């Protein structure tokens, strides 16, 4: 039996903790750290960290929608970072650390926008959510030393 898979891509600051948190979810088949949203082909970590490429640090998920819904992924995404701080997560500052959902379908775009509306209306955050919702662009996988970083180096390396 071939299982159904879909892609989801999220930026919530430093990708190390984001990748680790998503890997904990049933139905997430793979999570890869990388870069999306910029205008430079195949950017490297130093270029992205300079803030000049337009890329965000992201995690791209391959998931089984029969085991985990996109809405459940959104819930995890919004619980793991502060979506009201523009271009900043904890000590990481710059557009490469922006809060962003890169959608892979019209359904994902609608779900993300509705989730943000509901979150704003809930009063959970005193400030409005600034998470961007953008169409997916080419995904550039980060260097291998970034993949499963917290598994290799321990959770003390990241605040998420």
Residue position matching structure tokens 């926008």: 113
List, run by run, the mean pLDDT of 10-residue segments along the chain (160 residues).
84 91 96 95 93 96 98 97 94 94 98 98 95 98 75 60
b/e per residue, 75-105, with b = 16+ CB within 10 A? ebbbebbbbbbebbbeeeebbbbbbbbbbbe
Q: Which strands sit side by side in the sheet containing 140-141, from one edge to the other?
A: 132-135, 99-103, 6-12, 56-63, 28-36, 140-141
Name residues whose C-beta falls within 8 Å of residue 154's C-beta, 6 or more positions apart in sequence: none
In angstroms, the Cα distances linking 113 to 79, 103, 110, 129 are 16, 10, 5, 11
**d(Cα 113, Cα 107) in Å, to the nearest integer?**
10
Per the annotation, the verdict on 14 as an active-site residue is yes
Catalytic residue among 8, 12, 14, 73: 14
Reported pTM:
0.92
- What pLDDT shows up at residue 1? 46
Return the pLDDT at 21.
93
What is the Cα–Cα distance from 70 to 65, expressed in whole angstroms?
A: 7
φ, ψ at 56 (rounded to 5°): -110, 150
Distances (CA, A) of 24 to 68, 71, 85: 12, 16, 25
Domains of the chain, each with CATH number or no CATH: 6-154 (3.30.1060.10)
- Provide the pLDDT for residue 22: 97
Number of Cβ within a 10 Å radius of residue 114? 12
Q: Are 113 and 120 in contact (CB under 8 A)?
A: no
CA count, 13 A, side-chain hemisphere, 14: 17
């Amino acid at each position: 039996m071939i299982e159904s898979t879909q892609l989801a891509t999220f930026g919530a600051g430093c990708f190390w903790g984001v990748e680790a948190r998503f890997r904990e979810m049933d139905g997430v088949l793979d999570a890869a750290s990388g870069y999306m949203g910029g205008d430079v082909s195949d950017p490297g970590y130093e270029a992205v960290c300079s803030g000049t490429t337009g890329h965000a640090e992201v995690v791209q998920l391959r998931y089984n929608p029969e085991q985990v819904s996109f809405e459940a992924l959104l819930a995890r995404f919004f619980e793991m970072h502060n979506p009201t701080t523009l271009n900043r997560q904890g000590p990481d500052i710059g557009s490469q650390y922006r809060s962003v959902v890169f959608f892979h379908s019209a359904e994902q775009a609608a779900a993300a926008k509705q989730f943000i509306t509901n979150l704003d209306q809930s009063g959970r955050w005193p400030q409005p959510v600034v998470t961007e919702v953008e169409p997916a662009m080419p995904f550039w996988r980060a260097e291998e030393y970034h993949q499963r970083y917290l598994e290799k180096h321990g959770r003390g390396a990241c605040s998420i």
